Chains A and B, each alone.
Chain A
Amino acid sequence: MSYFSLKYLIIFLLTIVVVYIFTPKKLRNLLLLLASYALFIKVSKKLVVFLLLSTLSIYFSALLMNKLDLKRNKEIEKVSKEEKKIIKEKYKSKKRIILILTILFNVAFLFYFKYLNFFKEIINIIFSSDLKILKIIAPMGISFYTLRALSYVIDVYNEKEEAERNIIKIMLYLSFFPIILEGPIASYADVKNEFDKKSSVTYHNFCFGCQRILYGLFKKLVIADRLNQFVKIIFKSYMNYSGSTIFLGAIFYTILLYMEFSGTMDVVNGSAEIFGIKLPENFRQPFFSKNISEFWSRWHITLGLWFKNYIFYPVSLSKPVKKLSTFLRNKVSVRFSSLTMGAIALFAVWTLNGLWHGAGFTYMLFGYYHFILILLGNIFEPLIIKTCDKLKISRNTKIYKFLQIIKTSILVFIGELIFRAKNLTVAFGMLKRIFLNFNITNTNFSIGLDIKDYIVLVFALIIVLVISILKEKNMNVREELSKKHIVIRWIIYYALIIGIIIFGAYGPGYAPVEPIYADF
C-alpha cells in the first residue's frame, strides 16, 4: 500500500474524515482505531494477530510494572534509607525481568519476520550448510511499530512514562493508520495528549492537512518518480556507464530518497493534521548539515532519537563500558576514554541502524560507513579546529560552511549508493568505477530523462530549496501563506495541484518509486 495512492487518499482517508466529522467526540479514537485495524487487515490479513500480541504484551507488562512501582512506593514509605535501597533493588530486578521478557517477545517476532532468512544465509555461508530460505511476509510496518512498542515499555520501566490504562489508546499508538507503514517512530509521550484532544475536523485543520499532503505529492510525483527513470537504470546496469554518470545516479538517488521519504512524511503528518493530531517531524532540512552527525540529527529524526535514547545512552552508561572508561581515563587520557566510550556506543547504534534498514550486507556496510565517518569526525575535530586557527581560516564564514555542506552531501551520496546497491559486489563495483573511471565530460544525462524533464526538475527543486531555506530561517511557511489574500492563496494551490497533475511522472511508461521505507 502507498500513501500516495488514490485508494488511500480519495477512498480511505476521505471516507474516514467524513465519518469522523459525524462521530461523537468520545468515540473518535475508537473510530480511528477501527480504521487503522481495517487498513492493517486489508494489507496484512491474518498477520494482524502479531500486532495484537505486541500491543497486549506492552499494555499488560506496563501495567504490571506500574503496579510494582506502586507497591514499592508503599513499602518504602516507612523504612530506613538502607532498607529503601534494598527494596528498590528488589523491585527493580522484578521489573527488569518483565522488561526483558517483553523486549524478547517483541524482538522475536521482528527477528522471525525480518532477520531469520538473513541469519540462515550467514550460517549457510559460514558452515556451507543448506538451510532453507523461507518466503516470509512480514506484518505491515513491523519495524516501526516494534520500535514504538519497545520505547513505551522502556519508558514505563524507567518511570518516564505512566502505564496507560486505556487499551484503545495503546492500540491506536501502535496501529494509527498514518504512522503504521513508515513512521514517524513517535514516543508515547509525543502522541498521548494528541489522542486525548479528540479534536474536530476544523476548516483550518482540513486545509492545513491537505496543503501538507499536496506538498508531499509534489515531491513524490514530480521529483522522486521522475528521477526514478534515471536511477533505476543506473543501479541495474552500472557497468554500461562511466564513473561520473554513476555518481550522478548516486546524487539523483539521494534526492529521490529524500523526496520520497519526506514526501511520505508530509502525507502522513498532513493526514494526521486533518484530525487535529500533531505528529513529530522526521526531517529538518538535512542537506544543510555541516557534518554527518548533524545530518543524522536532521534526517529520519525519530529513528535517530530512538537509537540515541534506547541504545546509545544505555550502552554508554552500562557497567562494563563505564568500567572501561574509568580504566582508560586513569591509564591513558580523558579524551581517549570519552572517545572510546562514544565509539562503543556508536558501534552498537550503527550496527543496529544498518540492520534495522534491512537484513542485508549492504545495509550493514551502510551502517558501518556512517559509524566510521562519525568516529573520524570526532577524532579529527580538534585537529581541524587547531589547523584552521593556525592558518587563520575562520570557520564561521559562509564559504567555509558551504564547503562543509558540500563535503557532507558528497559523503551522504556515497552512503546512499551503498544503501541502494543490490549487493556488496554491485556497491563496490559502482564505487570502483566512480573512483577509477570518473570523467566529467563523459557524463550521460539522458538516461530515461530528456532536457524538458531536467527543466521541470530544476524548477521543482528550486521550489523545495526556497521552502527549505525559509524553514531553516524558522519561518512557518504555511502560516505565512495563510495570512495572504485568498486570491493569492488559491492561485498557489491551483498552481500546485495542476503542476502535480501535468508534470507528475505517472501513468504509462513511468515506474513510480515503491514506498522505500515501508520495507524496513
Chain B
Amino acid sequence: MKNIMNNVFKSIIFMFILLVLLGILSYVLLTNKENVKKYGINVVSNNEILSEEKNTIDVIAIGDSLIYSSISPMILWKNYGFTSFDCASAAQVISDTYKELKYGVETQKPKVVIMEADVLFRNPKKVPWYYKFTKIENYLSLFHHHNNWKKYLFSFINTNSNFTKENIFKGFKYINKTKPGTNFNYMHANTKKYVISDENAEYFEKIVDLCNENDIKLLLVSFPNMRRWTYSKSEEASELAKKYNIEFIDFNKNQDLLNIDWKTESRDGGGHLNYSGAIKATNFIGEYIKKYGILKDHRNDKKYNNWNEAYKYYIESLK
C-alpha cells in the first residue's frame, strides 16, 4: 500500500511539474506577449488577431461557432483579396463578443464588422459547461503556438521568412464532416417566443457605438442553423437591426439566398455548415461587402505576401 501511495504521489508531482513547464513555455513562445494580459477572457485562437500585423485586417467577424463554421477568411482572401479574421468561440456570450471586438480594434482598423445574431439570444447565466474549459487552453497555448520556436530558436539563421503557419486559418475552423439536417420546417415548427434580454440589448448597443466611433460598417447576419434558429429570433433580430439602422442578412428566413443543401452541407444535422456550406456562405458575404466599395483588394500588394503564403498552406491543410 505504501508503495502504491508512493507511486501515486510521484505521478502527481510529475504531472504538476509538466503542467508548470508547459505553462511557462506557452508564455515564452507567444508571439505577442501582450496577449497574455488579454487572455483569460476567451480561447486562444480568437485572440490571435492580436498577433496579426497592425492595421492589416479589414474585416472582423464576431460571434459564436456559427462564425468560425461559416466564414473562411482564406476564401475571402482568394476570391476578393479582403483580409479578415474570425474572432469567434463556441457558445459565446455577447459580453465576450463585445470584448473581442474591443481588442480587435485596438490593433486593427477594420472597415467592416460581421456579427452573428445568435449571440443576442444567449443567456450569459446559462453558458454550457464546456465553455469554462476553453479558458484552460489560454494557459497551455503551447499546443497552438508551438511552431513559434522558429522565431526564437536558432534566431541567427535567416530563413527569409518568419512565416510560422500558426494562424493560416485566421480563426476559421475547418470541419468537413457531413451529417444531414432534417428539420426543414424549423422556422415555423418552433413557436417558442424569444426576447433579447435588456443586458444583451445593452451590449449590442455598445457594439454599435464602438463601430460608429471607429467608422466601421456593422453587418448583422444569422447564418443557416436549423437546430437553434427560429422565426421568433428572426423577428426580434430584425427589429433590433432596424432600431439601429443596421443591415441584417437573415439566411434562415431567406433560405433562397444560399440554397443550402442540408443533405450535404451541414456537419451536425443542421446546426452548423460544413466546409462546402461555408464556401457558399463566405462567397455570398464576400459579394455583399464588396458592394460597399470600401474594401481594397490586397492580392497584389507586396505588404500582404504572407496572406498568399498562408493560402498555400491553407489549401494543403484541406487535403
Contacts and interface: CB of A to CB of B under 8 A. Distances in A.
Contacts of A313: none
Nearest to B45: A508
Range of interface residues on chain B? 20 to 34
B128 to A, nearest CB: 19
A452 B159 contact: yes
A507 B166 contact: yes
A375 to B, nearest CB: 39
Interface string A421-454: 0000000000000000000000000000011100
A520 to B, nearest CB: 21
Interface stretch (A33-41, A52-60, A496-504): A496-504
B159 A450 contact: yes
B149 A503 contact: yes
A508 B169 CA distance: 7
Given A494-B18, A494-B21, A498-B25, A507 B153 contact: no
A501 B148 CA distance: 12
Interface string A445-480: 000001110010000000000000000000000000
Which of A455, A486, A494, A501 is the most central at the interface, judged by chain B CB atoms within 10 Å of its CB? A501
A501 B22 contact: yes
A497 B18 contact: yes
A508 B166 contact: yes
Given A501-B143, A508-B169, A490 B154 contact: no
Interface in B256-314: 313-314
B142 A501 contact: yes
Given A501-B22, A502-B29, A503-B149, A510 B165 contact: yes
B44 to A, nearest CB: 12
A494 B17 CA distance: 9
Given A498-B22, A507-B144, A511-B319, A452 B153 contact: yes
A203 interface: yes
Interface string B1-43: 0001001001000100110011001000100000000000000
A509 B313 contact: yes
Nearest to B319: A511
Which of A455, A497, A506, A509 is the most central at the interface, judged by chain B CB atoms within 10 Å of its CB? A509
Given A450-B159, A502-B146, A511-B316, A455 B154 contact: yes
B111 interface: no
Contact of B146 (A452, A455, A494, A504): A504
B157 A452 contact: yes
Q: Determine the main DSSP class of B at the interface with A.
A: helix
B71 interface: no
Interface string B192-227: 000000000000000000000000000000000000
Contacts of B142: 501-502
Contacts of B313: 508-509
A227 B200 CA distance: 50
B157 A490 contact: no
A467 B317 CA distance: 33
B43 to A, nearest CB: 15
Q: Determine the main DSSP class of A at the interface with B.
A: helix
Contacts of B144: 507
B150 A507 contact: no
Nearest to B309: A509
A450 B25 contact: no
A453 to B, nearest CB: 8
A203 B154 CA distance: 39
A455 B149 CA distance: 12
A494 B22 CA distance: 10
B168 A508 contact: yes
A4 to B, nearest CB: 14
A509 B168 contact: yes
B147 interface: yes
B165 A509 contact: yes
B149 A508 contact: no
Given A508-B165, A509-B165, A498 B317 contact: no
Interface in A338-379: none
Interface string B135-170: 000000011101101100110010101000111110
A504 B146 CA distance: 8
A497 B143 CA distance: 12
Contacts of A509: 147, 165, 168, 313-314, 316-317
Interface in A482-518: 486, 490, 493-494, 497-498, 501-504, 506-511
Nearest to B164: A509
Contacts of A498: 21-22, 25
B17 to A, nearest CB: 7
Contacts of A203: 4, 7
A65 B150 CA distance: 63
A147 B18 CA distance: 42
A200 to B, nearest CB: 11
Contacts of B14: 490, 493
Interface in A159-209: 203
A248 to B, nearest CB: 19
Nearest to A493: B14
A314 B314 CA distance: 53
B159 to A, nearest CB: 5
B68 to A, nearest CB: 13
Contacts of A501: 22, 25, 142-143, 146
A245 B150 CA distance: 25
Contact of B167 (A490, A494, A508): A508
Contacts of A452: 150, 153-154, 157, 159
Contact of A507 (B10, B17, B18, B165): B165
Contacts of B317: 508-511
A344 to B, nearest CB: 43
Nearest to A506: B146
A358 B169 CA distance: 35
Contacts of B147: 507, 509
A507 B146 contact: yes
B52 to A, nearest CB: 14
A494 B19 CA distance: 10
Contacts of B159: 450-452
A494 B7 CA distance: 18
A313 B167 CA distance: 57
Contacts of B21: 494, 498
B249 to A, nearest CB: 28
A486 B13 CA distance: 12
B145 to A, nearest CB: 9
A507 B45 CA distance: 12
A283 B4 CA distance: 34
A337 B237 CA distance: 88
Nearest to B161: A450
A7 to B, nearest CB: 14
A130 B4 CA distance: 67
B161 to A, nearest CB: 7
Contacts of B146: 501-504, 506-507
8 contacts: A452-B159, A486-B10, A497-B18, A498-B25, A501-B142, A501-B143, A502-B29, A509-B317
- Give 9 closest A-B pairs by Cβ, nearest first: A509-B165, A509-B313, A203-B7, A450-B159, A508-B168, A502-B146, A502-B149, A452-B150, A509-B168
Given A452-B153, A507-B165, 17 more contacts: A450-B159, A490-B17, A497-B18, A498-B21, A498-B22, A498-B25, A501-B142, A502-B25, A502-B149, A506-B146, A507-B144, A508-B167, A508-B168, A508-B313, A509-B147, A511-B317, A511-B319
